[in-house]
Amino acid sequence: MHNLKHPRAIDRRTFLRLTAGAGAGVALAACGGGGSAPVPGGGEQEGAAVASGGEYSGPAVELAFWNGFTGADGPVMGDLVDQFNSEHDNIAVAQNTQQWADFYASVPTAVTSGNGPDVAIMHIDQLATNAARKVIIPLDPIAEGLGMEAASFPEEVWNGGIYNDQRFGLPLDIHPLGFYYNKDLMEQAGLDPDSPPQDMDSYMAALEAFKSEDIRGMWVSPFLFTGGLSFEALVWQFGGQLFSEDGMTATFNEQPGVDALTWMRSLVEDGHSPANVDQDADHIAFQNGENAFHWNGIWQAAAYRDTDGLNWGVAPLPQIGSQKAAWAGSHNFVITSQADENQQQAAGTFISWIIDHSLDWAAAGQVPANQEVREDPEFEELEVQSTLAEQLDYVQFPPSIPGIGGVIDPVMVQGYQVAILGRKEPQKALDDAANQANQLLEENRSQYGGG
């Protein structure tokens, strides 16, 4: 198939470091990052960004822009920054790129000392943590001044930037899970290679067809990548949530979670997946033509395109449960508490410009968050991105709770893992994990002051 217009892949190990950084929120707070304890949440955050009317017209300013785009996506953002600088004589943006885990570890201390970023990219599940620690500031005046509103973005990603009733992130993109399928193996099993299954019955029928050809159709990873992300998607598909709306209680052990995990474990028990799949083995097997169906992120599309002899396609995740749902991540722009008023206004201009030019960013393997950009005919030419954008009405993100990354991984993921490996029954595995998660959620409320 015709895939990425420009090959700008994000490899899984880069993305794994991303998630490790997200999960480090609690540890960072416990270590006293920034030289001070986390500031209790609650009430309105002081130091909200000043309003920006779009084009910055103040005195010349420099903006330190930090992100973790160390993969092939880095040069794409670098080109955008260079173009922005060439068009703005009074704003000079300097990009600093580092591994995501290093980024999240260093930003709080750097901002406290005044040597950090003025504007940065953070993942949607890191916003609450950094807002609670007052590393980043509310952006409601910026969003209002720029005319950014809910109608221009998918509801989940727009709402995901809010913590304590204030906006801390402006969404650049969405990177969802997708359903990759091997067309040659489908033909071998007597299936239509141009009609990947999209519901439970046809999906299971396809797996049985593969099995009759001695093909293990869907390898189930016991690790966060990709099994844990698939489990999260399935919890939502079966009608559940990972946590209560107030963020005080783990709910992934309720019946939807048990149903999701039971189905995934059945794929191993029924021979559709090998047992004890190693890290990345499902991805490698798909590249080698051994794994017919594979759930992975949009960031892997370029790797499959560049694999010689691999005849593949991509589709939205099939609906296994009672409703459609898909796991997704999102890069959000933030402004830090070290930025002065002129830098805040200039940062608003920069953020707005990059979001308006996010069609170029889409070539890095992302789905632009801005609806107007996605409606550009050129976006439709990016087949993988436009196909997986069909899921935007039902993508899901973790709740906006400080330290949530460290509750999902490793706590929830370990519960998922022991069940996939057959060491505990799904209900027992999830109950044990939920008990640990609830303790950690309580510790986080104490650490971050609620919210």
CA distance 118 to 114: 9
Neighbouring residues of 428: CB distance < 8 A, sequence distance ≥ 6: none
Domain that includes residue 150, residue range: 13-43+50-172+330-381
CATH, residue 436:
3.40.190.10
- Whether residues 190 and 277 share a domain: the answer is yes
Q: Are residues 37 and 143 in the same domain?
A: yes
Residues 419, 371 share a domain = no
Q: What is the mean pLDDT of the chain?
A: 90
Question: Domain check: are 272 and 313 in the same one?
Answer: yes
pLDDT, tens only, 309-348: 999 999 999 999 999 999 999 999 999 999 999 999 999 9
For residue 398, name the pLDDT band (cuts at 50, 70, 90). confident
Residue 2 lies in a domain: no
For residue 116, CA distances in Å to 34, 67, 105, 109 come to 11, 11, 12, 8
Domain check: are 203 and 145 in the same one?
no
Structural domain includes residue 140: yes
**CB 387 within 8 Å of CB 373:** no
Residue 298 lies in a domain: yes
pLDDT per residue over 120-137, tens digit each?
Answer: 999 999 999 999 999 999
Residue 6 lies in a domain: no
Cβ-based neighbour number of residue 37 at 10 Å: 14
Residue 246: the pLDDT is 86
Residue 339 phi/psi, 5-degree rounding, is -70, 135
Do 184 and 152 belong to one domain? no
Instruction: Read off the pLDDT of each residue in 27-41 and give the average, rounded to a whole number.
Output: 30
From CA 180, how far away is CA 201, in angstroms rounded?
A: 18
Whether residue 394 is contained in a domain is answered as no
The answer to whether 3 touches 312, Cβ cutoff 8 Å, is no
349 plus 412 within the same structural domain: no
Query: For residue 278, is it within any domain?
Result: yes
Q: Do 271 and 123 share a structural domain?
A: no
Cβ(101)–Cβ(151) below 8 Å: no
> Is 289 inside a domain boundary?
yes
Domain count along the chain: 2
Are residue 57 and residue 155 in the same domain, yes or no?
A: yes
Q: Answer yes or no: do 324 and 334 share one domain.
A: no
Tell me the pLDDT tens digit for each residue of 241-296.
999 988 899 999 999 999 999 999 999 999 999 999 999 999 999 999 999 999 99
Residue 10: band (very low, low, confident or very high) from pLDDT cuts 50, 70, 90 = very low
Q: Are residues 116 and 185 in the same domain?
A: no
Shared-domain flag, residues 103 and 190: no
Winning range, highest mean pLDDT, from 3-17, 398-412, 437-451: 398-412
| 347 domain-assigned | yes
**Model pLDDT for residues 267-278, shown as the tens digit of each residue:** 999 999 999 999
Adjacent-strand bridge partners of 332: 122, 171
